[in-house]
Amino acid sequence: MITPAASPRPNGDIAIEAQEVTKVFGAVRALDRVSLSVRRGTVLALLGHNGAGKTTLVGVLTAAVPPTSGRAYVAGFDVARKPREIRRRIGLTGQFASVDGQLSGRDNLILIARLLGAGRKAAAARADDLLELFALTDVAARRARTYSGGLRRRLDLAAGLVGHPEVVFLDEPTTGLDPSSRLALWEIVENLVAEGTTVLLTTQYLDEADRLADSIAVLSSGALIAGGTAAELKARVGRRTVVVTLDGAHTAAVAAEALRRASMEPVAGPDTGVIVVPIDASKDIAAVVRALDHAGVEAEELSFREPSLDDVYLTLAGHRPHPARLVQGADA
């Protein structure tokens, strides 16, 4: 769904609004006329490869990076004019840890609460609540510099929530988290949103955006190339697939025939004995299994594949942004 964002000042229902935001660093156009708006109490996922401009956009919206041109409003305040009002209402967890390694986890959170105006008792209580929420109670007394990467990340996430912010910015919040911490964070985000908090998060993972976001914006080389709900985006990006591995070309042919009879559209996979079946919803996996079962075919392996960020880029931009490949390779 594409509509021009033109209103000079967002109404009370809009928590985040960017209007034609451009940011140029020397020769790099990090953001190129980005416009988006996020309604109060919803989640926007900003999707993009390395160097797409996600962190820069978060910087602009948190009044940390002055835009070269364009305007942005957060919680009804202009980022260029009222940075302090914005900082009173936002929580930020940046891409890189911003906690004090010299202090314990608990003291980090207390420090922030005190700076936000909490009394000693209230600050300690808030710190303890957050330590528990992020499963950090056991390490609360240790200096943060002794934390593992994932622990530090969780402390950093907790630090962003100390002031009960109205708008929360999370820059790649689940990078470096183990699967259970990742799931726990997703639940925390869902609870925040249920309480009316607005969340903007950046991610490289389509499934994360799909799970959490009410709307998704895709950045590529500084420009928004698509936006909409997860469902709208996925409808455009292509479908999920089930990959069936069988014990040979002959079985594969039988299986393909059975699937076709069940009105599916199997395609021969990259290897002999592999077929790929596009499906619409995850429950259609059952239909695949039933069709195979019906034909008396036993699959050696059955796997389910979500469309990835690469699929998004291939479909929407017609190419992968070249620097991304390079940087990702270096990352791995």
Partner 1 sequence: MTATTPTPPASPAAPASSTSPAWKGSSPLLQIRVLTARSMRSLATDPGVILFGLLQPVVILFVLTQVFSKMGPPPHFPAGVSYLDYVLPAVLVDNAIQAAVQSGVGLVDDLKNGIVARLRSLPIAPSSLLVARSMTNLARSTVQAVVIMVLAIGVLGYSPRGGPAEVAASVGLTLFMSWALGWAFIAAGAWLRRAEPMQNLALVAVLPLMFVSSAYVPVADLPAWLAAVAQVNPLTHAIDATRALALDIPGAGAVLPAMVISGVVAIVSAALAAVGFRRPM
Ligand X SMILES: Nc1ncnc2c1ncn2[C@@H]1O[C@H](COP(=O)(O)OP(=O)(O)OP(=O)(O)O)[C@@H](O)[C@H]1O
Tell which positions 23-82 bind Mg ion, by CB under 5 A. 54-55
Answer for which of 125, 184, 223, 274 binds partner 1 (CB under 8 A) is 223
Smaller CB distance to ligand X: residue 60 or 86?
60
Integer-rounded Cα radius of gyration of the chain: 23
- Determine if 88 is a binding residue for partner 1 (CB under 8 A): yes
28 binds, among ligand X, partner 1, Mg ion, none (CB under 5 to 8 A by kind): ligand X
The size of the interface with ligand X (CB under 6 A), counted in residues, is: 13
Contact 67, 21 (CB under 8 A): yes
Contact 198, 15 (CB under 8 A): yes
29 binds, among ligand X, partner 1, Mg ion, none (CB under 5 to 8 A by kind): none
The span from the CA of 45 to the CA of 157, in Å, is 16
Answer for which of 35, 37, 55, 203 binds ligand X (CB under 6 A) is 55
Site for ligand X in 32-51 (CB under 6 A): 48, 50-51
Smaller CB distance to partner 1: residue 196 or 323?
196
- Determine if 12 is a binding residue for partner 1 (CB under 8 A): yes
Q: Name the maximum alpha-carbon separation found in the chain.
A: 74
Strand pairing report for 240-245 and 274-279: antiparallel
The span from the CA of 91 to the CA of 97, in Å, is 14
Site for ligand X in 15-34 (CB under 6 A): 25-26, 28, 30
The span from the CA of 254 to the CA of 158, in Å, is 54
Contact track, partner 1, 32-71, x by CB under 8 A: xx-xxxxxxxx-x-----------------x-xx------
Run of H or E residues at 233: helix 230-237
We find the least distance from the C-beta atom of residue 199 to partner 1, in angstroms, to be: 11
Strand pairing report for 274-279 and 198-203: unpaired
Which positions ≥6 away from 72 have C-beta within 8 Å?
16, 17, 18, 19, 21, 60, 61, 78, 79, 80
Contact track, ligand X, 94-113, x by CB under 6 A: -x------------------
149 binds, among ligand X, Mg ion, partner 1, none (CB under 5 to 8 A by kind): none
Q: Which stretch binds partner 1 (CB under 8 A): 133-141, 227-235, 268-276, 293-301?
A: 227-235
Answer for which of 54, 71, 87, 106 binds partner 1 (CB under 8 A) is 87
Contact 207, 306 (CB under 8 A): yes
30 binds, among ligand X, Mg ion, partner 1, none (CB under 5 to 8 A by kind): ligand X
The span from the CA of 43 to the CA of 167, in Å, is 10
Contact 198, 188 (CB under 8 A): no
How big is the CA angle at 41 (ends 173 and 214), to the nearest 5 degrees? 65
- Determine if 53 is a binding residue for ligand X (CB under 6 A): yes
Smaller CB distance to partner 1: residue 1 or 281?
1
DSSP 266: -
Q: Residue 200 has which token pair?
A: 């903007």
We find the least distance from the C-beta atom of residue 195 to partner 1, in angstroms, to be: 7
We find the least distance from the C-beta atom of residue 25 to ligand X, in angstroms, to be: 3
- Looking at residue 252, its amino acid is A
Q: Which of 200, 174, 186, 196 is nearest to 73 (CA)?
A: 200
Smaller CB distance to ligand X: residue 32 or 284?
32
Q: Residue 276 has which token pair?
A: 């790929």
We find the least distance from the C-beta atom of residue 176 to ligand X, in angstroms, to be: 13
We find the least distance from the C-beta atom of residue 182 to partner 1, in angstroms, to be: 22
The span from the CA of 273 to the CA of 268, in Å, is 8
Contact residues: Mg ion, CB under 5 A: 54-55, 95
Contact residues: ligand X, CB under 6 A: 25-26, 28, 30, 48, 50-56, 95
